[in-house]
Amino acid sequence: MIKTLLAIVAGVLNAVSFAPFNWWPLSMLSFAMLFWIWHTSSTKGATWYGFVYGLGMFGVGISWIYISIHTFGGMPPIIAGLCIFVLVAILSIFPALSGWLQSCFSAWRPTIRLAFLMPSLWILFEWLRGWLFTGLPWLSTGYAYLDTPLSNYAPIGGVYLVSLIVLVSVGTLVAIIRQITTGNSILAVLFILVWVAGWQLNKTAWTQTQGQPISVAVIQNNVALRKKWDEQEVNRIIFEYMQKSQEYRDVDLIVWPEAAIPDYLDNIANDFWRDIEDHPADFIFGVLHRDTVDDVTQYYNSAVAVTDHIMIYGKQHLVPFGEYFPFPGLLGPLTEMLNIPMSYFSAWQQPQSPLIAAENRFAVSICYEDAFPQEWRDQVESSGALINVSEDSWFGDSLAPHQRLQMARFRARESERPMIRSSNNGLSSVINWKGGIDVYAPQFVQHVVTATIQPRSGATPYVAFGENPVLILIGTWLIVGLLFGKSAERNNKLYT
């Protein structure tokens, strides 16, 4: 019972290491507790403790989903709570599997198991969680270390490399606490040097400036969701965006958020296009788009760039239960309880190029697509900057907008590209190429973010190779364990 409570508490500590709390040392304490519990547990116990650790971590870390499906989706509170519990339990299977699999190697030398096996398996299942069943890569360990020297490894191997460095460091620390040996001490010194090297890496640039700076205005109009999807409000919403934009005729680019125009592209009045044409700036904004082929109409959540012509980007990675309903035959009765507008989108399937505006190329993502960096690396390499348009009103005053901003900052850091982030109700930001926030808008107010960004060119190692080097490193870690991990103390008793 004590270990169960400790595992739950450890999971909660991990959750609050992320934004908006940013108490990253608690992440290290959290994993130290978990690794110690795993090391002293049977196979059955390690599986259970991994599961309840996940309950604590995800139960706090993604609690905001309740706001989305109950407060704004209209699902009854008991049913919404049950749905969140089921989702949290499913996600907790991943740390449970990590616990189970590491316990299968209880005969390994303790240092190898703590410093190599447990970290490798955790990152492997963290990576699987990021894409299996469409993926939910929330609370990946490395995000909590964005404001530490370890973030300078992001351009080399992305969030999973940072995660791996953290967890191997923690495993080494636990091994030393368990027993001080020459080997453990040498390993500890090596990882202290890795942390110190992070400071030096801050001086390294894998990319270079490109072209002239771009002046930007990001319009945050804080449109209430109940009004946004009211057909009677569409013209007023468009008028307010255009009216606010008229105050910024001296900038190069104006950006509006996701579905800023809550109407289909082909349904927008000609007056709007005349106003856009008369404005000296280029525009990028979110809008709905539909396309009919062979009498079948598909609907897309899109972003458009408007210069002397129009380019369209269609969202590729849709939000389950928000933009489409998976397994409609199985989940039909449940989804009927949700009242989410525009929830039958199609995912864009064709290859897409960066949007061109202000004489530059922008790698575009819509809403939580920026949590899936592997899906837009091709865009990034040929772009000078990043743009994310979002609608965070669905999350209310919760952890989610802050977590999303943290992930967006990480995308800028690992690609060494400035990012323009436009959100309807807050935390619209201009992020520099190092992942720092140059300027941002507070939540739940109308605001305009103005800044100048400097496009960049070149590919960081992460943009060039993605997660492949980290996965190879994990595989190497596991091979090292297989070769050198067998302990002479095969009959050591484990405590449940």
Annotated active-site residue in 315, 369, 391, 414: 315
Decide if 367 is catalytic.
yes
Annotated active-site residue in 126, 258, 323, 467: 258
Decide if 44 is catalytic.
no
Closest-CA residue to 40 (of 491, 495, 482):
495
* Geometric angle at alpha carbon 112, from 106 and 117, rounded to 5°: 70
Spell out the residues 6+ positions from residue 250 whose beta carbon is closer than 8 angstroms to its own. 215, 280
The bridge status of strand 208-209 relative to strand 253-255 is: unpaired
Residue 486: predicted pLDDT: 67
The residue whose two tokens read 């107010």 is: 445
| In contact, 119 and 170? CB cutoff 8 Å | yes
Give the bridge partners for 311, in sequence order.
305
CA separation for the pair 23, 148 (Å, rounded): 11
Residue 415: predicted pLDDT: 97
Joined together, the tokens standing for residue 375 give 């899906």
Annotated active-site residue in 83, 228, 367, 391: 367
Residue 72: predicted pLDDT: 80
The tally of CA atoms less than 13 A away on the side-chain side of residue 347 is: 13
* Geometric angle at alpha carbon 389, from 384 and 395, rounded to 5°: 140
Encode the chain (496 residues) as per-residue pLDDT tens digits.
899 999 999 999 999 999 999 999 999 999 999 999 999 999 999 999 999 999 999 999 999 999 988 888 788 899 889 989 999 999 999 999 999 999 998 888 898 899 999 999 999 999 999 998 888 999 999 999 999 999 999 999 999 999 999 999 999 999 998 888 887 788 888 888 999 999 999 999 999 999 999 999 999 999 998 899 898 999 999 999 999 999 999 999 999 999 999 999 999 999 999 999 999 999 999 999 999 888 889 999 999 999 999 999 999 988 876 676 665 555 556 666 666 666 678 889 888 999 999 999 999 999 999 999 888 888 999 999 999 999 999 899 999 999 999 999 999 999 999 999 999 998 999 999 999 999 999 999 999 999 999 999 999 999 999 999 999 999 987 887 777 776 544 444 433 3
Decide if 83 is catalytic.
no
Strands (E), 315-380: 355-357, 360-366
How much is the pTM?
A: 0.94
CA separation for the pair 109, 183 (Å, rounded): 12
- Residue 132 is classified by DSSP as G
